[in-house]
Amino acid sequence: MGGIADTEEWKALEGAAYDLRSKSAIDLFKDDPGRAQDFSIGAAGVFLDYSKNKISTEARAGLIALAERADVAGAIRRMVAGERINATENRAVLHVALRDFANRSYELDGENMSQAVKAERGRMVKFADAYARDELLGFTGEPLDTVVNIGIGGSDLGPRMVVEALKPYWIEGRRAFFVSNVDGRDLGDALDRIDPARTLFVIASKTFTTQETMTNAASARAWFLANGGTEKDVAKHFVALSTNEMAVREFGIDPENMFRFWDWVGGRFSLWSVIGLSIALQAGSATFERLLRGAHAMDEHFRTAPLAENLPVLLALVGVWNRNFLGLGAHAILPYDQRLASLPAYLQQAEMESNGKSVSMDGAPADAATAPVIFGEPGTNGQHAFYQLLHQGTDVCSADFIAAAKTDGPLGDHHEKLLANFVAQQEALMVGREFQEVWRELERLDYPANEIKRLAPHKVFKGDRPSSAILVERLTPEALGAIIAMYEHKIFVQGVIWGINSFDQWGVELGKTLAKAVLPEIASEGGEPPAAVDTHDPSTNGLINRINAMRSAPQGKDETP
Per annotation, catalytic residue among 512, 516, 525, 559: 512
DSSP output for 160-224:
HHHHHHTGGGPPTT-EEEEE--SSHHHHHHHHTT--GGGEEEEEE-SSS--HHHHHHHHHHHHHH
Binder to ligand F6P among 210, 324, 545, 548 (CB under 6 A)? 210
205 forms part of the interface with ligand F6P (CB under 6 A): yes
3-state secondary structure of 365: strand
Which helix H or strand E contains 382, and what residues bound it? Answer: none
Cβ density class 258-282: b for 16+ within 10 Å, e for less: bbbbbebbbbbbbbbbbbbbbbbbb
152 forms part of the interface with ligand F6P (CB under 6 A): yes
Interacting span for ligand F6P (CB under 6 A) from 151-159, 223-231, 364-372, 401-409 = 151-159
51 forms part of the interface with ligand F6P (CB under 6 A): no
Based on the residue annotation, tell me whether 135 is a catalytic residue of this protein: no
Closest by CA to 287, choosing from 118, 126, 170, is: 170
505 forms part of the interface with ligand F6P (CB under 6 A): yes
Closer residue to ligand F6P (CB): 467 or 505: 505
273 forms part of the interface with ligand F6P (CB under 6 A): no
Interacting span for ligand F6P (CB under 6 A) from 149-157, 216-224, 378-386, 543-551 = 149-157
Interacting span for ligand F6P (CB under 6 A) from 76-84, 205-213, 308-316, 376-384 = 205-213
Pairing of strands 330-335, 238-242: unpaired
Strand residues in 44-174 grouped as ranges (E): 46-49, 107-108, 111-112, 146-150
Based on the residue annotation, tell me whether 489 is a catalytic residue of this protein: no
508 forms part of the interface with ligand F6P (CB under 6 A): yes
240 forms part of the interface with ligand F6P (CB under 6 A): no
Question: How far apart (Å, rounded) are the C-alpha atoms in residues 162 and 158?
Answer: 6
Burial bucket for residue 528 (CB in 10 Å: 0-12, 13-18, 19+): exposed
Closer residue to ligand F6P (CB): 250 or 534: 250
Residues whose CB is less than 8 angstroms from the CB of residue 267 and which lie 6 or more positions away in sequence, other chains included: 153, 154, 155, 206, 505
207 forms part of the interface with ligand F6P (CB under 6 A): yes
Interacting span for ligand F6P (CB under 6 A) from 123-131, 201-209, 246-254, 257-265 = 201-209
Residue 467 sits at φ, ψ, to 5 deg, of -150, 155
Give 182's strand partners.
none
Binder to ligand F6P among 237, 268, 290, 301 (CB under 6 A)? 268
Residues 59, 497: contact at Cβ < 8 Å? no
Based on the residue annotation, tell me whether 120 is a catalytic residue of this protein: no
Q: How many helices (H) and strands (E) does the chain have?
A: 23, 13
356 forms part of the interface with ligand F6P (CB under 6 A): no
158 forms part of the interface with ligand F6P (CB under 6 A): no
Closer residue to ligand F6P (CB): 146 or 213: 213
Residues 452, 269: contact at Cβ < 8 Å? no
155 forms part of the interface with ligand F6P (CB under 6 A): yes
267 forms part of the interface with ligand F6P (CB under 6 A): yes
Per annotation, catalytic residue among 289, 351, 353, 488: 353
**Size of interface with ligand F6P, in residues (CB under 6 A):** 14
219 forms part of the interface with ligand F6P (CB under 6 A): no
Closer residue to ligand F6P (CB): 199 or 502: 502
Pairing of strands 238-242, 199-204: parallel
Pairing of strands 398-406, 373-376: unpaired
Interacting span for ligand F6P (CB under 6 A) from 123-131, 199-207, 358-366, 539-547 = 199-207
Give the footprint of ligand F6P on this chain (CB under 6 A).
Answer: 152-155, 205-207, 210, 213, 267-268, 353, 505, 508
Active site residues: 353, 384, 512
